[in-house]
Amino acid sequence: MAQSLHFLTPATSPTLKTQTFSKKILSKSNLSIRQTRKPLSICAVSSDLESKSVTTKILGSENGKGGVFEVDAVTEVELKENGFRSTRRTKLVCTIGPATCGFEQLEALAVGGMNVARINMCHGTRDWHRSVIQSVRRLNEEKGYAVAIMMDTEGSEIHMGDLGGSTASAKAEDGEIWTFSVRAFDSPLPEHTISVNYEGFAEDVKVGDELLVDGGMVRFEVTEKLGPDVKCRCTDPGLLLPRANLTFWRDGSLVRERNAMLPTISSKDWLDIDFGIAEGVDFIAISFVKSAEVINHLKSYIAARSRDSDIAVIAKIESVDSLKNLKEIIQASDGAMVARGDLGAQIPLEQVPSAQQRIVQTCRQLNKPVIVASQLLESMIEYPTPTRAEVADVSEAVRQRADALMLSGESAMGQFPDKALTVLRSVSLRIEKWWREEKRHEAMELQDIASSYSDSISEEICNSAAKMANNLEVDALFVYTKTGHMASLLSRCRPDCPIFAFTNTTSVRRRLNLQWGLIPFRLDFSDDMENNLNKTFSLLKARGMIKSGDLVIAVSDMLQSIQVMNVP
């Protein structure tokens, strides 16, 4: 079957002149196209478009004859001031807590680059979380953002309860004796006492065991057992935070007795999931996933509870079981989170970096977004600047091409949430720029993941479009997608240029805001690609986001082709 490259030039009449090039042109362009049953064309289109007058609203939306057009306000400013190459590709997730739950604080995070707001069901009441969700939705509606909402379940692993008194944290000093108890306390907790959620805790631990809080941030040695109480001596001092994870080690190995039989999703988690479905969150992150069956079960439950819902399920990789079943879990999920804090409590610390890289690469291969989380800028909970080691850690996650980085305590309860977000943004921009300047295209060969003939064509189109974008040094890739799938395939290729993802639904637009390199727009479009391009060029030029002469490549769900054009 012949393969051809068609260049379509504008003419005074509707007839387009076609010039056919040999297959050698494709090989020179480093362009690989799978032979298909139907001809697969690659079109280069140029035309003169009349710029239409567009009234710009503060909200970043257009409602008129052209339908709806929404764009992130911060991205719009960045494109106007600095151009295509300046846009940040790595996405940023911020955990919302007491330090950032107000509308003004949320807006400051959005201005600073927050793409996803995370609510942690380990803390706070459902009414409190509902108010945060409502504030984020209001922020999107009034200020033109597309901040998605991720709800993180508590999970059924062993963890501490809330600390007694009015303080949100407590300091454990070297040599102090603390009591870990499974008793229910009606009155405030006695001094140096911590409640534990796992009823079998006192039976499973033994004198001499090492107890790790939050992956080793604080360490204790078990010295005595008195019924439901376990007396422990602090061996490594540190800050105790409410609901911190607890693990215990014996003779250098993690103790996994009855705790290993706990269900992944607890009864409280199911109630929280019902809450998340009712509130219409964009992502639900499941803690301590042990197998793909858990993900499949949850997806079926969400589909039954809300047939119109498109909530994405994120698997948190934070246990030995998660690593054993990694590929199956990621295939079943809609994305993954490298929860390094709890993961580091279950495997030796020196294995965490290689585990992180393995998870990131597996997600990339399977076309699932991946978030690197936990202790990225831990010192900024208390200090206004990060350590050099933390900056290096963030840089490595960006260099690995993770989709997103996540702040936890830094933004939830830290003293400098805005500064912590600024550090993530600035480091991401610098490493991404360095990567492009050095032309460090990865040697990673992306495996075929298509499950149908149609998906295979879409995959080949996106792979080829990304290669062309790099070879031709285009300014942007345009993708018109109803489900987000084509945009996701382009993101997987990690092209040098930004990807403008146009979708006609608000929920898909927010979900795409988690994926690397995507700038999601909401746009009413049709199956007529020429009309879509005309409309897009008019709207973007009127806003000053593109200019005549910019080189773009366009692909879509509707038309199986690659179109290369200069903005008229």
Q: The tokens of 107 are what? A: 């807006």
Residue 44 lies in a domain: no
Provide the pLDDT for residue 261.
Answer: 57
The domain in which residue 457 lies consists of: 453-556
E strands, 237-380, are 238-240, 246-250, 253-254, 283-286, 312-317, 335-339, 370-373
pLDDT in tens, 252-273: 888 865 555 567 888 889 999 9
Average of per-residue pLDDT across 36-61: 36
Indicate the residue among 261, 287, 322 that finishes a domain: 261
Provide the pLDDT for residue 70.
Answer: 86
In three-state form (DSSP H/G/I as H, E/B as E, the rest C), the secondary structure along 441-483 is CCCCCCCCCCCCHHHHHHHHHHHHHHHHHHHHCCCEEEEECCC
pLDDT in tens, 269-308: 999 999 999 999 999 999 989 999 999 999 999 999 987 7
Indicate the residue among 226, 261, 296 that finishes a domain: 261
217 and 281 inside one domain: no
pLDDT in tens, 412-452: 999 999 999 999 999 999 999 998 888 766 656 788 888 88
Number of domains in the chain: 3
Q: Are strands 551-556 and 476-480 parallel, antiparallel or unpaired?
A: parallel
What CATH number does residue 524 fall under?
Answer: 3.40.1380.20
In three-state form (DSSP H/G/I as H, E/B as E, the rest C), the secondary structure along 294-305 is HHHHHHHHHHHH
> How many CB atoms within 10 Å of residue 349?
12
Indicate the residue among 261, 289, 320 that finishes a domain: 261
132 and 241 inside one domain: no
**Residue 217 to residues 296, 308, 341, 343, Cα–Cα distance (Å):** 34, 43, 9, 13
Mean pLDDT value across the chain: 84
Average of per-residue pLDDT across 55-80: 62
Band (49; pLDDT cuts 50, 70, 90): very low
Average of per-residue pLDDT across 513-520: 96
Q: Is the pLDDT reported for residue 31 higher than 50?
A: no
Q: Is the pLDDT reported for residue 27 higher than 70?
A: no
286 and 376 inside one domain: yes
Provide the pLDDT for residue 127.
Answer: 97
130 and 244 inside one domain: no
- Distance of alpha carbon 73 from alpha carbon 361, whole angstroms: 32
243 and 203 inside one domain: yes
Band (55; pLDDT cuts 50, 70, 90): very low
319 and 338 inside one domain: yes
Provide the pLDDT for residue 266.
Answer: 86
CA angle 316, 317, 318 (to 5 degrees): 105
Residue 497 lies in a domain: yes
Q: Is the pLDDT reported for residue 102 higher than 80?
A: yes
What CATH number does residue 233 fall under?
Answer: 2.40.33.10
pLDDT in tens, 493-506: 999 999 999 999 99
Q: Is the pLDDT reported for residue 170 higher than 80?
A: yes
**245: which residues sit within 8 A by CB, 6+ positions away?**
157, 158, 159, 213, 214, 215, 341, 342, 345
